[in-house]
Structure 1
């Protein structure tokens, strides 16, 4: 009498918690580990020896899909072919079994070609290689929910923003694999968040000021005194970033030919700006002094050079300064929020001027077309006032009063 098949149901699978093998019939088993993880297994005997082949995690492989895979394995057995040996042989055919890393390289290449901001493209590579290294050499069709959770869990709470971005990037790689036919088209992406990983990973902490923890602006003067005692190029880059309220990528990519010392203006080209528009940054006295202090080190096009010839500082250089100074719960990007809070709470400068200093796009398209001027000189007065807040009220106060009075919108 043939053994009964299809003994399991979706409800029964959800209720199973006892460790061990639970038969569905037709050589298909649901294996429950001591930790509660569930996976599919196909078992058979050959020459008196028991053989076993994994068919994937029960989280990412549905009951119906597991039965399809078991059916394929039974057909191979009926033809005298060992299913496990057949799988090993198939893995030698590279085009049929590309690795996660091979698909990721294709995604990264496309991202680099499409992105205006090469820093953004390099962050994709850095995140995937640093934190998803365990997936890199896996056949992309074998990447399942368990392997993704193993990658995300160690950094999910401590580096929650990085972990969230990593999850999205893994999802993009697996989407690309599915589009190319390297993953079953009828299977959901195991890296998806809603209705899947959100049920398996703990809720993440919410960061202050959106996603970037910021230092209270009242604490910045004391912090700058400590920062100025450091002689590293990264420390000068961080000081310059705070003074200009610029994005870290804009600062790290700054080139000498963008600096006009006579006019005291730094012009960031459109291709390096988030909004895709050229942005002029008025430079205060201390920002110019930082530039002058770095001129003797000039050995290429970048204002803040890295260790390698003709390369800027790395993306993490300024964050590492904060870590060495043991400054907790603060990000480099968060200093932009500090500046914005100070401008709104402590000055009478118009809101539009503060937003323009941050290179934020203000208003609808009609208003943007009408507002042709970038209000450079009025923004200069604002940035000089920010410099005064940072370094003390006596610092260049006469110039501040004159320019502030001229900057008011009537």
Structure 2
């Protein structure tokens, strides 16, 4: 280059008397001094008429000679029409396998047992995602995701659903880290939903789920029954709660003025308190029960001072001749409705199910529990349940 280079000296760079600012070594290399005295190297260049600044590392970890060598490499790239920053990002971009591993490492703190960790790693590994594993995350397109899902979409409906959701999470993580841009090719609503055929009846693991379209008619049947188990099951459906959370519910956990149910940490699977916004119908159901209640439990059992039996709702389903439906499956019915029929974001639906959403950093920034948004979601679910 025609401009003077190598203008700085070791003694100058080492000096602790430099004011904050940038000091040119020539040829685009600068020593950047911040208030407080910390120093680092930057390389400044132009691409398509736009000024770009590339960091070369902190001083003294990167000495003057090393910074000059890196600057020389960058000048050669710029002269060849390349963007050193873009090339650096490309070299740092992980494959899907590497990205999945980083994502899972960031998430493992929220999983309470090794089985759950293994399930995630298995579904994102060679068993199903072999095609994606060696690909750079920015190169993964819809056709690649379809190649993974299509072989199991109809034959293993639940597995396919989990794979799609987990691939979506990994690619969302890649986008947040700056390795991808644009729409997520594993997105369901507004994307894959328009390509893939309807799945076979969905089950969650061993928990067979009623199709959400059948839930309104089922709730009408429940309301015709006088059993306490019918009341508890309707409440479970309206709140998308787990059976243990519903059966162990105490009146002291409810604020009916604010229409909020706070399940204590000791009774939550994730080991932390969970606030449940109550829909209008859920509030009405509780008010009706409160009038005649003589127990601390909202859904008391036959034995004094004890809640309803853990099998009460399952036995009710059997008496109703619903042998292919489970109580836990109604959480799946709710989740499928939220994903396929509503416009609420995935993280709101997951939060309604008391699932931990996002990595540790994301959760640190999102300290609230989105109660207001979840209230809108649960009221919409209630309105759907009462459509008949």
| TM-score computed with the length of structure 2 as normaliser | 0.47
Higher relative contact order by CA 8 Å / sep ≥ 6: 1 or 2? 2
| TM-score computed with the length of structure 1 as normaliser | 0.45
